[in-house]
Structures are given as C-alpha cells and as structure tokens.
Structure 1
Amino acid sequence: MPRRSSRLISSTLRWCVLLPGALLTSATWAQSADSETTPLPVAQPAPTSPPPAEDSTPSAEPDSTSRTVVTGTRLPRPIRDVPATTVVLPREEIDRSPTLTQDTLVRSLPSVATFRRTPSLVSDPTAQGLNLRGLAPSGVARTLVLLDGVPVNDPLGGWVFWRSLPRLGLERIEVVPGGGSALYGSSALGGVVQLISRPITGPALDADVSYGNRGTGLVAARGAQRWGPVAAALETELLTSNGYRIVSPGQRGAIDGDTPSNHVVLNGRVEAQATDTLTLSARANLFRENQNGGTRFTTARVELAQFGAGARLQTEARGTFTLDLYGRALRFEQDRARVAQDRATEVLAASQEVPANDQGASFVWTAPTWNAGGTHQLSAGLDARRMAGTSQERIFPATQAPEALVAREAGGTQWSGGVFLQDLYAPIPALELSAALRLDAWRNTRGQQRVERVNGATDTTRYDDRTEHQLSPRLGLRVRPWDPVTFRASGYRAFRAPTLNELYRPFQVGTVLTAANADLSAERLWGAEAGVEVEPLRALTARVTGFWNVLEDPITNVTLPGNAGRQRQNLGRARVRGVEASVDWRLSRRWTTLLAYTFVDPTVTKAPGQPELVGRQLAQDPRHRGAASLTFEDPRLFTTTVQLRVIGPQFEDDLNERGMGGALVVDAAVSRRLFWKVDLFAAVENLFDREYLAGRAGVDTVGPPVLARVGLRLRDAP
C-alpha cells in the first residue's frame, strides 16, 4: 500500500515524541458533572481563544454559579444562566480521573455513550461513534464533537479519533445534550460535546509518565510560553499497550491473542494579540495510531494532519466578530480476516485504504447587548464545509469463482453550509427566553462505486447528485423564581445528513457484512426537555431533567430477510424518552460525592417493511445507566477517588435477539505530593476485574479487564 503520506507524518511524530522524555505524571480520576443549561449550539466554532475558566483550585469551594461555558449559546456565560442543559468536566476532575482514554473519560457521565462498550484502547474509531441520552447509537456519531469550536468528527464517516485529543491540553469538557442543529447544523442531531483548550500562560510545563499492567505505558508533556503579545503551546503524547484478549473465553481459538496498540500526537498552537481589539491564532495537529484487533489479519491504522487559523475582533460599538478556517487530511487503513468457525485459522479477507479530507470555514457575529423591553443578546453566523473520501478495497475471496469480487472502490464528495440567527432575551433578570433558527443545505456529488471481479470484468455505478435542505428551530426558557431554584425548558428540531461512509462504503464486523445505501435521506429529530436545578446550599446541587425525542427516518443497520447480512436503511421512526438526575454534594472541604442516573426508553414505533421491529428496543442502547463517585482531597495527605459505573442490559441487534447483560465497574485513583509540584499516583480501571460482554457481532467480545498503572505527574501551570 502507498505510504508516502505515512512516512511524512511518521518521521515528524517520531522526533516529537522524544520531547516529553523529561518529567512526568499521569491523570488521576474524578468524575464530575456541573450540569447547567445552555441554549442550543449555533453552527459555528466557539471563540478561537476561549475565555479563562473559573478558579479550579482543588481546595476552593465549588461554585457552579460562576463557571463559564460557551457551547450552549456560543457565548461565554455563567453556566447557571444558560437555558439548555450543560454538563462540565473541569480540568481538576480530568486530572483526577482513573481513566486512560478520552472516550472512557466522557463515558463516566451516564448520559454519554459510545457505540460499543469497548474503549478506543482496543477498538478502532469506526466503533466509537458518540451518542447522548441514548439517541440511537451507531458507529457514526450522532453528536458533534468540537475542539475549540472546530469539528473533529471524521469527514468520511463522522467517527471520532478520541486518542488524537490528549487531555493535558484541556481546560474543560462541555456536554450539551439535546438537538443542537439550530446552532451547529447536521452533526449536532443529538447534541454537542466541546473540548476547550487551556489558555496559554507562561512559562508553564506539565508532564505525565506512567506504566501499568498489560504493557501499558504513557508519556505526555505540555509546554507553554508567552513573549509579550505572542503566546505558544506545544503538546505531545505517546501511548502504547498490549491490550487484552477481547474474544470471550468460550469462543476463543488458536488465532486469538492480545490487542496491541500505540499512538502518538503532536499539537501546536500560537496566539498573537495583534492590536487591543484583534487576536490572531493558528494551530496544527499531527496524529498516528496503530491497532490490532486480536488476530494477525484484523488491524487498523490512522494518520491525520490538521491545520487551522482564526481571528477574533472585539469592538464596543459593533460587537465581536470571529472567523475560523480549518483543513484536514487523513488516511484510515484496515485489514479484515476470514476466520474458521473454530477460530483455529484465518486468512486475509480484505484490505482497505480510505483517504479523506475536508476544509471548512465559519464566521460568527455577536452584537453588543441592547435594550428593548428588556435586554437582548443577538448573534448570527454562517459556515461551510467540504468533505471528500474514497474507500479503496482489495478483496481476497474464499473461492476464485469468476463473479467473485477482488476489488471495490467507493466514495464521493459532500458540500454543506448553513446560516443561523439567535436571540437571548431577558425581559427581567429572573426570566430569559432564547430563540435560534438555522437553515442548512448539503449536496452529495461524484458518488460512485466501482467493482472488479475475478474474471477481469469491471462494473461502475455512478450515483446521481442530490441536494437537500433543512430548517432547524429551537426555543428555550430559563426561569429563576428565587436564587436557589432554576427551571429550564426547550423544544427543538434537529437533523443529520448521511455521511459518505453510510452512502457508499460497505463494512464488516466479525462475520456480519453491512451494505451501504446511496438512497439514504437525512435523519430528523423533534424533541423537548424540561428540568429543575436546586441549589439549597453552596455545596449541594441537585438536578432532574426529563426529555422526549422522536427520531424520524433514523439510519440503522437493518437485518435483511433470511439473515442475509445487513444494510443501512432509514428505518421509519423511533421514540427516545427518559429522565436524567444528579446530585453533586461537597460534604466538607475534603469530601465530595456525585450520584448520577439516566433512564432511556428507546423504542421503534414505525418500521415500514420491517413490522417485526415495531416495539423493539434500539440496538446498543441500555435503558439504565448510572454513576457514583466519592473523592477525598487533602494536599497535606493525599487525594483519592473511587468511581462506580453501571450499565444496564442491552441488545446487539435490531431484532433484540442477541442480548448483553448489564455491567458494574469500579475504578479508583490515589495521588500524593512527593516534592515541589511532582505527585506520585496510581490508578485502576475495573478494580474487581469484572467480565462483561461488549459486543456480539458474529463473535462475542468482552470489555476491558483490570487495568492498573502507576506514575508521576508534574503540574507547573496555573
């Protein structure tokens, strides 16, 4: 396979990885959720240089009323004043978390899940699609993931490369569930997760180094410096692991082994205060990942390069103008195996290369606050994105029948763009109304599939260009009748256009082949939510939110008659309703506890041509998810966190025939200051080595066993 782009990225990354070889530390754990509402997201990246977050000093009393968030309204605002539900994982809790990978970190929130239960440590990105509140999980994310306002979802399949987002550079993670298309367009059907980078202050140096069982080692470092009006930050991370045997013990064969993986990341960011009102920025990201799925011929590889630039102009008279430009090029490679029934032997079944790229731009204007029967905060913006990708597949058929396929190439180009308008209107301080409206259009072009057969014959199918559009409104309400109590409610319409992957690229997991479908139309969502937040004490916050969503024409993998594989289809209609609740209580200056629970009822209500699916539960969607954590923190002694994660039973397939039981997993972390700013820490995931099913796609796979590590952590930044 061609490796020209690989060698370029690889050589750059190799020397970069040596930079952090100095000092050292790794993240401990603590789950947190400062849940406050925020109006729905707008279709444009958040400010290039996020506003500084509130004080996160571990010994300080938590103050949710002062925490600043940007995702729900695309404006920096106190979290308690935002009209849409927002959950925040601040930097101190990211540091304390026992989790190793970013996807496992965000899944510690019960309303957040990825398609399969396996972490990115042993699973390639095609199984890591993000969903919020159980909104129809699939390999494709139904949630938009942003890094400082720039989309990180893959341009071909909407996947998320979680391991390309190192946590040392993060100030916080904001999660806004509920339809977000009114501000962000297509990918925000189920909500938005935004990773906010730390402000660049200097000089500063942070580092992590850790090692654990199963050959798991991590080295990471971040350095930042400021020279007058210019500031720069550089981050790097190297992670390697032997993984574990993912096939369940009862089905393992001679071919099944561990799942080794490694990745390397290098991120650079520069900001310049050009004038008193104008800030310029630029960033570059390089990422490489190698994974083995447990056998010789089940491998995956990703190489990615991304670049961006931004400008932010703040004026008193005309408001704030923000411009972001970005581009990305990547190559995803995957080998698949044909495995004997007893799993004693395997042969290479197919090898894919999937080059993809995208380019995008967004522009947002925020008007100065003005008065007319109350205060108004008006914002508007537009964005555009071009995405292109092609799956180039070599197939090695079991027999050399003349009609058997030996090669397949499929792909196309998608253009999308949208404009939005938002008004936040507060007639009185205790009441705020929000309204947002967005118009999107997208066009699929140059779609085709070309196949080659053993006998040398070739067939090329070209698909007609298609154009669609969507209007996405959102209305919100925030009422605070008295200071400790806040009510929120909102209604919205959202959508997600099918990805190039869903339209043109077939895929296989285990023995199950899923065909593409060029006739797919957009998924559409109608939804509403309402909730209350009570803060009777500064140290105690309780929240309850109910939600009701109707997903029309969801793109799902439907089992074909006679179990002749699966195909992506617009299923019909599904109802996803439920409730989420949490209690955040700082028992004292040393003790903090969090309890959170999410119930989801994901039911198919309409399935033309598939009447047997009506009334069944959506696949990969448990009804019950919960979390609890207890943290003790005393800088003179030590800091420790114990976390409990609960996942209810669920089904692998749309027919609800392949059930998977629930799971209860305990994680823990402890750290102690050694000297200066260096801590010694230890972290364990799945402390009691609980075995549970993670997938049943042709072969049963299991979740991670106990993963333990020890390390050193240096925190020299404010």
Structure 2
Amino acid sequence: MAASEASSTGAHDTNEPSAPGPTTRGNTSDAPVAQKTASDAGQTVVTGSRRPRPARDVPATTTVIPRTEIDRSPTLTQDTLVRTLPSAATFRRTPSLVSDPTAQGLNLRGLAPSGVARSLVLLDGIPVNDPFGGWIFWRSLPRLGLERIEVVPSGGSALYGSGALGGVVQLVSRPITGLQVDADASYGNANTGLVAARAANSWGPVRASLEAELLNSDGYEIVSPAQRGAIDSNTPSDHAVINGRIEADATDALTLSARAGLFRENQNGGTRFTTARVELAHFGAGAKLRTERGGTFTLDLYGRAQRFEQDRARVAADRSTEALTASQTVPANDQGASLVWSGPTWTGLGTHVFTAGLDARRMAGTSEEQLFPPSPSDTATVGRSAGGTQLSGGVFLEDLYTPIPALELSAALRMDVWRNTDGEQRVARANGSEDTTAFEDRTEQQLSPRLGLRLRPIEWLTLRASAYRAFRAPTLNELYRPFQVGTILTAANANLGAERLWGGEAGVEAESTSLGLTTRVTGFWNVLDDPITNVTLATPLPDGSARQRENLGQARVRGVEASVDWKLSRQWTALLAYTFVDPVVTRSPGQPELVGKQLAQDPRHRGTAIVTFHDPDIVTATVQVRMTGSQFEDDLNERPMGGFAVVDVSASRHLFWKLHVFGAVENLFDREYLAGRAGVDTLGPPLLARVGLRLRDL
C-alpha cells in the first residue's frame, strides 16, 4: 500500500526537498509501530505548519495515527479511535454509536470540554465542524478512506483561526496511486453490522475514488439499572455515507480536484421521544499550481447543506412514562474558501520558508422548535425559532527560519474578523400571539500570534517549545439554541463573546535507533479567558431552564503528557502514553463558589497502553488498555463520576489472496462505568464484540 506524503491542501511542493512517507507495511517490513508522536525521519506531516514537512522538524508537538494502526484498532467508531490518544477526549464518555452529535465535541489536553468542539477537525484541510453547533459528525468520516490522522494539541489559531483554540485534528485521505479495492464486512453482538467499501483507480492524468459505509446497531441499555424504568430500552442507531473524489493533472504544474458526499444518521437515546437525525450533503473543489520560482498556490472551495432534528422527552420521576416535550429542527448551511501560498526557500542569515494565506466562511442556520408544555395556558410557549448568520475571515503569515541546521525558529501571525448578523428569536404562545426579538449585529476581531522553537543539539535529542494566543467565536448554536439533556434544560445566550486563550508548551524527545525506543515528555500551561460554559442558575428562568451558557471568568488548564514507544523486536511493539491535566476555574465574577472547582467533564488522569504483535505468517494482534480518571458532570462538582479502565483486543489473519479474517472486542471484561449524570445516570458501552472479513489491496 502506497504511503501518503501530504493532504490535498498541502501536496508536496516541487520546490521543496522530497521526504518519503511512512514505511510501507508488508512481509519484509519492520513490525508496525503503535500510534505515536510523529518522529520518524521519513514521516511527513502537514498540520503543524500548513505545509508538508518531515515530522522531526516540526516545532509543534504532532501525534500521528498511521494507516496500519487505523486498520488494526479494536475500536468501531472514529471518535473512539481518536480517544485512544490520552490527550484527546469527547465531551462525554459515550461513543457516537449511541450518542447524538450535540454531545460529541472534541477537546484536546482537557481544554474545557463541552458539546461544542474546542478543537478544529479537518479533512484534507477542509473544516468538518458543523456550521451551526461546531459538533463533529464522526460517523460521516469512514476510516477506509484515511491514510492517517494528525493531532496537534496546542493553540492553532495563528494558522487556522476560530475553532483551533485547543488544537487541530486533521484526517488525511489516502492517495490514489492506481487500482485499489478495499472492503470490510463485520457483525457482532447488539446486532451491530458494518459494511464498507472503497475503490480507486487512475487513468493517465485522472484519478478517482469512491467509498461507502453502512452501519446498523441495536445499541444497549444506557440508563443505569438502579434508575431504569418502563420507558427505557436499547439505543438503536444507523448511518449511511458515500463519498467521491476526483483529481486531474491539467498540466505538469496544475492539479484540479473535486469531491462530494452524502451522509445520513439516525440515533435513539433509549426512549421513544429521545431521538436525533442528521442529513448532510457536502461538496468541494480545489486547484494547486506549482511554479518554479514563485512557490505553490492552493485554492480550496467548499460548502454543505444539512438538517439536524432532535426530539426530547419529559420523563416521570420513576421513569415509567414519558411525553414529548420538544421537537427541534435545525437546517444549516455553510460556504467557504481558502487560498494558501507556500513559498520557496529564501536564503538570508540562514534559510526562511514563508507560508501565507487567507480564508473566508459563511455559516447560517435556524433552530426551529415546537414545544409541548405539560399544563398549557394561554401564555405558554409552544414554539420557538432562533438563528442567524455568521461571517468570518482571516489572513495569516508564517516564517520558518533555520539559522543553523540544529535550530529552527517559527513565527506565525493571523488576523481574524467575524460578524454575527440577522440574529432573531421568535416565541409563539398558545393563544396565538408571537413575540419577536431582533439581536443587534456584532463584529469582533482577534490577532493570534504563535512563536515556536525546535532545537536538535545532537541527532537523537529534540527540544521543542512554543507560545501562542488562540480564540474561538461562539457558534450559532450557543448564541441561539437551547437544549435539554435528561431533565436539565440549558438556555442559549445571544450576548456571548469569544473565548480567548494564552498558552505555551515545552517538551523533549529522545530517540534510540539501536534500542527501538522513543520517549517524549511535554508540559503545557493554558489560561482560558471568558470560556463559554453551561452555568447552573441560582433561580431557573421562566421557561424552566436550570442552566445557561455564559462567558465564565477564567480557567487555568495545565498539565503534562508523556509517552514511550518501544519496538521490542521485529514482531512486537508497545506504547505507553499518559496525560495529566489540572483544569481549575480561577475567576468567576458573580459566582465565586465556582473558583477552585474542577472543570466539568474533565478528568485529571488519562492513559493508554497498547501492545501489538505482527507476523504475516501467523497473526496480527493488538491489546490496548484505556484508563480515565474520575471527573464531575457539573460545574459545581456535585455529581462525581468514578474512574475506570477498559481492555480492548483485536486480531486478524491473512487467509488467501487479499482476504483477511478479523475479530475485535471493546471492553473485554464488560466493565460498567458512568458516562453521564445529567438528571439520570447513564452508562458507557458494555462488551461489544464483532467478527468479519476484510479485503485489502496491500
């Protein structure tokens, strides 16, 4: 299988020295490596500097999950795969298999988890965060089409603008190098079935790929046995996705590309009236022009149209009955464009490599809500509609300066402007009257700098340090859309401002080729000003909201992440990784009782241990242990959830031709643990096992 060198937004420039991609796996290759901080001299990454570079030379800490480990992971869904990195987490402990998208926000290094992602997720340089809520539809990103996943867990606004407050996760598509056919088919308990296929080919200067995935599951009983009632049942879900991509070399210097896809997902939260549904269509087009002396110019255009639907229930105290309390429909769309210039190497007291670019995005959406109050009066609210439009744009410049081969300095600066317009809320009463509130248009701006250093005093030792400022503008969802989890109703807030981050990191990486050992330690310190959080109200609002989104003073998130990669032999590899986070509220005007509290949904300890055995003539097997420490459900730290550890395993064996048989088990020992305590205690996934066949074009 060919190795990738770059994403579509950072394809290898002809005026840069070529660097090979990750080692090709095969009968004569070395044993596979586990997910790791990218450090191999031959591995190329693009996310940390928006251009393809050997990973050892990137000043920012970059972690890579390569294609082989994506294939061998015991995990079923993409969010669970990413969470095997201890520094990565979703808002709650529940996977996307049973959780609707509003609870799947990604955070890195414990940076104030919420349903909204505080980290930017890209597919080949194109944002995939939902335009209305910032959510991640993880199941819309099938893994058969991925070459690798790159994770840069530090403030990335200097290069990527809003959304990259806590870092960037980039999914890089597999290159099209000729005829390729791959397929997966598996079945497991909970009636979970998956069918996925990918086909790709090239015809002279034209290349194309098509991938599809279908998944259906009955889920499991998510409410804890002590609170389970007559209304509670399993959490069935299904999804379907199809994506197509085409590339063409118009000339030796110009490459054109286009892509499109459709996605549909249905979720049930375990009762008749707790459901969610997503329908999404996306498209994109791009052009890359390589010049001999002027560098490379990359243009990307993209857009999507989607519809999110959600029903919520009013549940009796003993969970014996339920009634529909709200039905929401959220149509949304976005359009965007980016232009990036990657310059040639310029010599002046060392070497300089410049990258510059600009981008713009328009996002629009409306939350249309029908309410069913238990005792309707003439003035009771029976309908609510709120939404608006958000326009954003930015320009950036980055210089990678190498005064001597052992030292590289990086400096990036970006200016962003965004504007909230057309904000409006309409409230309908049972007596037929309607109140309309128009929200004032607002414009804000942000200057985001980043400085970095990479020092290699001796060949086996690399030192990295960086300091940065980042931001995240509030989403349309946070500004306008209320939501309910369990029995807790949270109100929106049209007056929210951007949250801003100051931070830094410093780390050391030591690599011994003879021992096959790589060790990394990185310390980080982040101060988040005005974080948007769900704050418990002293007195509920007239509509019954017990919480409201607010800009909450200040939070400090500091910690350390460490990992050891060890290639024990040709067949055996091991990874130990651990992240400690100290997430504390340091300022809370108006609510001093929150000062010193741990941020909600933010465990202090997370760790992963992975051991892989690979012998093509025998078997490929992986055992991984995932550990998560205790945390709190709420901002007041009154609803604790204990820590847990689960064991996952997978194994595969080649049968004949390109056919492999495989099996995987998540939560092998059926460990029961809490996933949420929002009015009702919910559980994480029980033992989930599956077996299947794979067709691999290796």
TM-score interval w.r.t. the shorter chain?
A: over 0.9
Sort the Cα spacing of 1:49 and 1:354 in 2 relative to 1 into closer, same or farther, 3 A. Answer: farther
Equivalent-residue separation in structure 2 for 1:300 and 1:627 (angstroms): 31
> Within 5 A, what are the aligned runs for 1:555-566?
555-562=532-539, 565-566=546-547
Residue 220 (structure 1) aligns with: 196
> Within 5 A, what are the aligned runs for 1:18-57?
46-47=9-10, 53-57=21-25
SS state at 1:186 partner: coil
TM score, norm. by length of structure 2: 0.95
SS state at 1:119 partner: coil
Residue 18 (structure 1) aligns with: none
> Counterpart amino acid of 2:375?
T
How far residue 401 of structure 1 moved from its aligned partner, in angstroms, is 1.3
Contact 2:112–2:602 (Cα < 8 Å) also in 1: yes
Residue 388 (structure 1) aligns with: 364
CA RMSD in angstroms comes to 1.2
Residue 251 (structure 1) aligns with: 227
How far residue 606 of structure 1 moved from its aligned partner, in angstroms, is 0.1
Contact 1:256–1:295 (Cα < 8 Å) also in 2: yes
Which whole-Å deviations, capped at 9, do the CAs of 1:476-511 have from their partners, x for residues lacking one?
A: 000000000000000000000000000011111111
Residue 606 (structure 1) aligns with: 587
Residue ranges of structure 2 left out of the alignment (5+ in a row)? 1-6, 14-18, 34-38
Aligned equivalent of 1:86, options 58, 62, 68: 62
SS state at 2:139 partner: helix
Aligned equivalent of 1:548, options 522, 525, 531: 525
How far residue 400 of structure 1 moved from its aligned partner, in angstroms, is 1.5
Sort the Cα spacing of 1:45 and 1:399 in 2 relative to 1 into closer, same or farther, 3 A. Answer: farther
Residue 309 (structure 1) aligns with: 285
Equivalent-residue separation in structure 2 for 1:117 and 1:49 (angstroms): 38
Please, which moves more after superposition, 500-509 or 57-66?
57-66
Which whole-Å deviations, capped at 9, do the CAs of 1:8-65 have from their partners, x for residues lacking one?
A: xxxxxxxxxxxxxxxxxxxxxxxxxxxxxxxxxxxx9833689973223153266712
SS state at 1:626 partner: strand
Equivalent-residue separation in structure 2 for 1:213 and 1:343 (angstroms): 27
Equivalent-residue separation in structure 2 for 1:239 and 1:88 (angstroms): 26
Matched, 1:638 2:619: yes
Contact 1:48–1:311 (Cα < 8 Å) also in 2: no
Residue 127 (structure 2) aligns with: 151
Matched, 1:701 2:682: yes
Contact 1:214–1:243 (Cα < 8 Å) also in 2: yes
Residue 443 (structure 1) aligns with: 419
Contact 1:585–1:594 (Cα < 8 Å) also in 2: yes
Higher RCO structure (Cα 8 Å, ≥6 apart): 1
SS state at 2:42 partner: coil
SS state at 2:226 partner: helix
Residue 201 (structure 1) aligns with: 177
How far residue 403 of structure 1 moved from its aligned partner, in angstroms, is 1.6
Equivalent-residue separation in structure 1 for 2:586 and 2:223 (angstroms): 34
> Counterpart amino acid of 1:611?
P
Equivalent-residue separation in structure 1 for 2:12 and 2:70 (angstroms): 20
Matched, 1:95 2:67: no
> Within 5 A, what are the aligned runs for 1:403-482?
403-482=379-458
Equivalent-residue separation in structure 2 for 1:54 and 1:275 (angstroms): 28
SS state at 2:589 partner: coil
Contact 2:190–2:218 (Cα < 8 Å) also in 1: yes
Contact 1:314–1:321 (Cα < 8 Å) also in 2: yes
Residue 60 (structure 1) aligns with: 30
Matched, 1:280 2:265: no
Equivalent-residue separation in structure 1 for 2:102 and 2:307 (angstroms): 13
Contact 1:49–1:199 (Cα < 8 Å) also in 2: no
Contact 2:9–2:300 (Cα < 8 Å) also in 1: no
Equivalent-residue separation in structure 2 for 1:287 and 1:206 (angstroms): 20
Residue 36 (structure 2) aligns with: none
Contact 2:20–2:43 (Cα < 8 Å) also in 1: no
Equivalent-residue separation in structure 1 for 2:465 and 2:10 (angstroms): 26
Contact 2:21–2:42 (Cα < 8 Å) also in 1: no
Which whole-Å deviations, capped at 9, do the CAs of 1:327-386 have from their partners, x for residues lacking one?
A: 100000011111111000011111111000000000000111010000110010000000
Contact 2:11–2:52 (Cα < 8 Å) also in 1: no
Equivalent-residue separation in structure 1 for 2:21 and 2:82 (angstroms): 19
SS state at 2:131 partner: coil
TM score, norm. by length of structure 1: 0.93
Sort the Cα spacing of 1:621 and 1:212 in 2 relative to 1 into closer, same or farther, 3 A. Answer: same
Equivalent-residue separation in structure 2 for 1:313 and 1:658 (angstroms): 55
Equivalent-residue separation in structure 1 for 2:146 and 2:24 (angstroms): 13
> Counterpart amino acid of 2:538?
P
Equivalent-residue separation in structure 2 for 1:357 and 1:400 (angstroms): 34
Residue 554 (structure 2) aligns with: 573
SS state at 1:188 partner: coil
> Counterpart amino acid of 2:535?
V
Aligned equivalent of 2:667, options 686, 696, 707: 686
How far residue 676 of structure 1 moved from its aligned partner, in angstroms, is 1.1
Equivalent-residue separation in structure 2 for 1:587 and 1:484 (angstroms): 18
How far residue 233 of structure 1 moved from its aligned partner, in angstroms, is 0.2
Residue 4 (structure 2) aligns with: none
Equivalent-residue separation in structure 2 for 1:614 and 1:316 (angstroms): 57
SS state at 2:534 partner: strand
Sort the Cα spacing of 1:319 and 1:49 in 2 relative to 1 into closer, same or farther, 3 A. Answer: closer
SS state at 1:691 partner: coil
> Counterpart amino acid of 1:84?
A
Residue 157 (structure 2) aligns with: 181
Equivalent-residue separation in structure 1 for 2:21 and 2:553 (angstroms): 43
Question: Which structure 1 residue ranges, 4+ long, deviate > 3 Å from structure 2?
Answer: 48-53
Residue 513 (structure 2) aligns with: 537
User: What is the count of residue pairs matched by the alignment?
Assistant: 674
Equivalent-residue separation in structure 2 for 1:502 and 1:562 (angstroms): 20
Contact 1:53–1:171 (Cα < 8 Å) also in 2: no
Contact 1:48–1:310 (Cα < 8 Å) also in 2: no
Contact 1:47–1:312 (Cα < 8 Å) also in 2: no
> Counterpart amino acid of 1:325?
L
Which whole-Å deviations, capped at 9, do the CAs of 1:574-632 have from their partners, x for residues lacking one?
A: 00000000000010010000000000000000000000000000000000000001111
> Counterpart amino acid of 2:568?
L
Contact 2:213–2:240 (Cα < 8 Å) also in 1: yes
Equivalent-residue separation in structure 2 for 1:47 and 1:182 (angstroms): 17
Sort the Cα spacing of 1:242 and 1:264 in 2 relative to 1 into closer, same or farther, 3 A. Answer: same
